[in-house]
Amino acid sequence: DTGVSQNPRHKITKRGQNVTFRCDPISEHNRLYWYRQTLGQGPEFLTYFQNEAQLEKSRLLSDRFSAERPKGSFSTLEIQRTEQGDSAMYLCASIKGSDQQAFFGQGTRLTVV
Amino acid sequence: GESVGLHLPTLSVQEGDNSIINCAYSNSASDYFIWYKQESGKGPQFIIDIRSNMDKRQGQRVTVLLNKTVKHLSLQIAATQPGDSAVYFCAENGSAGTYKYIFGTGTRLKVLA
């Protein structure tokens, strides 16, 4: 257990529905990252926060995706109008200060049917 | 559970032998590299990291070698154990200051009893 908690662990949803995932980073970590991982691939960067500010978003993050970190602690990732191509593992990671080592959560496995 | 990396390169080694997993990275400006181990259905787990001002770093049973000339990274696992069976990813710091990672193509390590 790295100390990064993600909920739910698994989510099955029908195409067109909205889903929201939550990430609780290690408490003193001010940087928080979202990655997406599909089968047979390494994780791909989606977006990151430093405290409550969202500082970068990947081109992978379409306008159906939105991420928030309102109080600089936990973060949510929402996907609106889900599509089958959204099926993936969504991973959250956190980093402390100017350290470079990221600690990953166990991920949320999304299946869109 | 669902498998990570169904079509990844696979390295099969006998229990007790040494394993060497290789990785090519993309950005000559990357200054930090990290190896993760990922078991099926779980998030990436930190193994070892190295900064670009080093060419070798050792941990417990693991060694990372960095060759910046050819942009190559390797992970050596000594006395491989069944519990080492997993998918291994290297990652580079893709952007100085943001610490977002670019992950390489993973390698599945199978330890034969």
pLDDT reading at B7 higher than 80? no
Q: What is the DSSP code (8-state) at residue B3?
A: P
- Written as six digits, the tokens of B16 are 């007790």
A42-101 pLDDT, tens digit each: 999 999 999 999 999 999 889 999 999 998 899 999 999 999 999 999 999 999 988 889
What is the CB-side half-sphere exposure of residue B62 using CA atoms within 13 A?
A: 17
| Distance, CA of B24 to CA of A106 (rounded, Å) | 26
Instruction: For chain A, list residues whose CB is within 8 angstroms of any CB belonging to chain B.
Output: 2, 4, 6, 31, 33, 35, 37, 39-45, 48, 55-56, 91, 95, 100-107, 109
Mutation for testing the A interface, residue in B3, B6, B101 having most A CBs under 10 Å: B101
Question: Which residue in this structure is represented by tokens 């379409």?
Answer: A62
What is the CB-side half-sphere exposure of residue B94 using CA atoms within 13 A?
A: 14
B32, B91, B98 member nearest A55 (Cβ): B98
Q: What is the DSSP string of A44-73?
A: EEEEEEETTEEEEE-TTS-TTEEEE-TTSS
Closest Cα of chain B to A16: distance in Å? Answer: 24
B40-68 pLDDT, tens digit each: 989 999 999 999 999 999 999 999 999 99
Closest Cα of chain B to A21: distance in Å? Answer: 15
